[in-house]
Amino acid sequence: MKKELTPQEWYKKYLKLIKWLGNFICPAYMFGEEIPRDDTKFIVSNHLQFFDPILLLAHMDQYMRFVTKKETGKMFLIGGWLKNLGAIPIDREKPGGDLVAVKGILKSIKGGDDVMIFPEGTRNKTGTTDMQPLKEGTALFAAKTGAMVLPVMIYKKHKIFTRNYLYVGKPFDFKEFQGRKLDAEAIEEANTLLTEKMLEAKQFMDAYMEDGGKKKLKKLYKEQKKIHKKRDFVIKID
C-alpha cells in the first residue's frame, strides 16, 4: 500500500517548483527583522491579490499552513496543491463560524506548525494598498494560544517577472490576554493591537521604499548574498 505523504513531505516534494516560482515568476526581496525559526507562530500579511500565498511561500523559505477560503480549494490545480500542503479551508458563510477550521488552526499551532493568515479576510479590491479593517478571528486565535505573531507585509500587487518587496516586521504576542476571559471587549482590544502592529510594519515599509528603498535593497542584497550564499534571505537594513 502506497504511503500517504504528510503536508511537510509534500512541501519538500514541491520545493524545487516553489523556488522556481520565487526566483523567476515572482521575484522579491525580503527585508527587515530576522524570521524566528524556533518559535511556532502566526504569520500575518496584508492581502492584495490571489497570487499572495505563492509569493510568500516562495520567499519565506519554510513550511507553513495557509488559512484559505473554501472556494479556493475547488480551483483547478491550485486547490489540490494547497490541500496537499495542509491548507485549512474556512467557510466564511457558515452560521456561528466554521468550528472545523477553528479546531484545525488551533491544532496546527499546538502541533508546532506555523499558520499563515490574511486577517483582512479577503483580497483588497479598493485599487489601493491601504490595509482594510481586520476580521477578529486572527486576534482571537493569537490571544487564545499565546503564540507569536509575525507581520510580513507585501509592498504592492505582484506582476509576473517583476520584483516585489516583502517587509518582515517585529514579532509580538498576545500573552497579556492569557488567563483573561476572551469576551467581546477583550477580542476587540486584541484586534486593535493586531491592527496597530500591522499598520506600524506597513508604514515603516512604505516610508523605506519611498526613500530610495529599491536601490538600497538591491545594493544590500548583493553585499549580503556573499554571506548567506543563497537566493532567499531577509536583508538586514540600517
Q: Which domains does the chain have, with CATH numbers?
A: 7-228 (3.40.1130.10)
Amino acid found at 202: K
| Structure confidence by residue, pLDDT tens digits, 11-41 | 999 999 988 988 888 999 999 999 998 889 9
Predicted confidence band of residue 238 (pLDDT cuts 50, 70, 90): confident
Amino acid found at 152: V
Residue 226 burial (C-beta neighbours within 10 Å; 0-12, 13-18, 19+)? exposed
Of residues 96 and 186, which shows the higher confidence score? 186
| Structure confidence by residue, pLDDT tens digits, 211-234 | 999 999 999 999 999 999 888 899
For residue 151, the Cα-to-chain-centroid distance in whole angstroms is 7
In the numeric block, which cell numbers belong to residue 151? Answer: 507581520
> In this structure, how many other beta carbons lie within 10 angstroms of the beta carbon of residue 12?
12
pLDDT of residue 138: 93
Distance CA 142, CA 147 (A): 6
Q: What is the chain's Cα-based Rg?
A: 18
Average pLDDT taken over every residue of the chain: 91
pLDDT of residue 83: 87
Taking CA atoms, 62 is separated from 113, 182, 190, 197, in Å, by: 10, 31, 27, 23
Is the pLDDT at 96 greater than 70? The verdict is no
Residues 173/40, Cβ–Cβ less than 8 Å: no
| % of the chain surpassing 90 pLDDT | 66
